[in-house]
Amino acid sequence: MKKMLFISALAATALLSCSKSSDDSDNGKGNLSDDPIPVRFSQSIEAVVNQTPEADSKAVVDNKFNNEDFIAYAVEHTGTLTWKAANFMDGITLSADGSGAITYKTASEMKYYSNAADAQYQFYAIHPSTLTIAQAEAGKAPVVTVPAGTDLLVASAASTKSQNAVELPFVHKMAQLVINIETERVPNPELKINSVTVSVQTEGTLSLGGEVQPDGSAAEKDFVTSPLTINTATTTAVGNPLILPAQNISTVNIKIGDQVSATAVSISPAVTLEAGKTSTITLKIKDQDISFSHSITDWVDGNNGSGNVPMQTATSRSHGSNQTIEK
């Protein structure tokens, strides 16, 4: 009888042990034993369908980077994110293969989660991988230098120790500006657009965790690379989109036909370029006036302004306001 009771006790102990082991490994985070758990990543890109024409479309398939590298940074903390001179990740190169799967460029750089129960992580990834990045210092995040025309994408993700991949949702950190010319009917005589310029800051810097700040002096950027002739009732894109840091644009300068000096047209209210969005200024030409409207769409969404100037003069004058928001 005693032997039977002893065997029953052993069986009960074994069942409890199995139940506890099952509970420990099935807690919604995968197997969180003391065995080292590597940090793995997955990715996605927001609003990539509106890439600029200059972008290499082969680098993105199904809203994921393919055969591309990006630079990763991460801070390990226990509730308060504080950058140090040396962090959990400091400029590690990650690579997306032909299917979009992410691996470490160099196997020796693979990182493993800490076994500390209260460890938390903030991850960042930067594309393109060729940018100049000032490394973190005590209390200061890494700073990315953004040259003119760079489509900067940054992903940010918080995580704790897990078998699950850390999702890196890349977003555009620059704004995009497009200028169109619209004619309601066939212009007679035909229109010759010699220049359409804006004064903008084209470069910037980004401190990880923040937004791009315009840097450097403003410069005149001309959308017209060669004279544009319009002789039909249509909407025509003027040159290529500009990729710019977020900023305000209150004036567009146009030179039409035989004008010696460009006409400065006030945009009211001022166009506010926004990170991750595409602002479109449309020049609507009708009879002797040019009206300007502005909309924001997907890189995309926002405010708009308008102004009018008589075509036959080269003096600056604006009037009217016509707001529309396209989403």
> In terms of domains, do 261 and 165 share one?
no
Task: Tell me: cis bond preceding 189? Omega within 30 of 0 counts.
Answer: yes
**Residues 208, 134 within the same domain:** no
pLDDT at 288: 61
Domain ends where: 172, 191, 221?
172
Give the CA dihedral 280, 284, 285, 289, nearest 10 degrees.
-110
Task: Report if residue 253 sits inside a domain.
Answer: yes
Residue 302 within a domain: yes
Same-domain pairing of 183 and 67: no
Same domain? For 131 and 191 the reply is no
CATH (domain of 211): 2.60.40.2630
Same domain, 147 and 221: no
Q: Quote the number of domains for the chain.
A: 2
129 and 243 share a domain?
Answer: no
Which of 136, 155, 172 is the C-terminal boundary of a domain? Answer: 172
- Say yes or no: 216 and 148 in one domain: no
Examine the domain organization and report whether 251 and 288 are in the same domain: yes
34 domain-assigned? no
- Give residue 283's domain range: 175-310
- Tokens 């006790």 -> residue: 9
Q: Are residues 181 and 152 in the same domain?
A: no
Residue 207 and residue 141: Cα distance in Å, rounded?
A: 6
302 and 182 in one domain?
A: yes
Q: Residue 21: what pLDDT? A: 40
In a domain, 26, yes or no: no
Burial class (CB in 10 A: 0-12, 13-18, 19+), 46: middle
Q: Is the peptide bond before 36 cis (omega within 30 degrees of 0)?
A: no
Instruction: Give me the pLDDT at residue 298, please.
Output: 66
Would you say residue 322 lies in a domain?
A: no
Q: Which residues face 190 on adjacent strands?
A: none
Choose the final residue of a domain: 143, 172, 201: 172
- pLDDT number for residue 212: 97
User: What amino acid is encoded at 128 in this protein?
Assistant: P
State the CB neighbour count (10 A cutoff) for residue 170.
24
Both structure tokens of 48: 């990539």
Tokens of 197: 């310029």
> What's residue 151's pLDDT?
94
296 within 8 A of 303, measured Cβ to Cβ: yes
Q: Where are the alpha helices (DSSP H) in the chain?
A: 2-25
Query: How far apart (Å, rounded) are the C-alpha atoms in residues 257 and 230?
Result: 11
Tokens 């926002």 belong to residue: 302
pLDDT at residue 23, as a whole number: 42
Start-to-end CA span in the chain (Å)? 80
Residues 134 and 194 in one domain: no
Of 250, 251, 245, whose CA–CA distance to 202 is shortest?
Answer: 245
CA-nearest of 163, 76, 75 to 114 is 76
* pLDDT by position in tens, the chain (length 327): 444 444 444 444 444 444 444 344 334 344 455 788 999 999 988 754 444 434 444 577 677 888 899 999 999 999 999 999 999 999 999 999 878 889 999 999 999 999 999 999 999 999 999 999 999 999 999 999 999 999 999 999 999 999 999 999 999 999 999 999 888 888 777 888 999 999 999 999 999 999 999 998 999 999 999 999 988 888 889 999 999 999 999 889 989 888 888 888 788 788 999 999 999 998 887 766 667 777 777 664 333 434 444 444 333 333 333 333 333
Q: Would residue 102 count as lying in a domain?
A: yes
The reply to whether 9 falls in a domain is: no
Same-domain status, 158 and 255: no
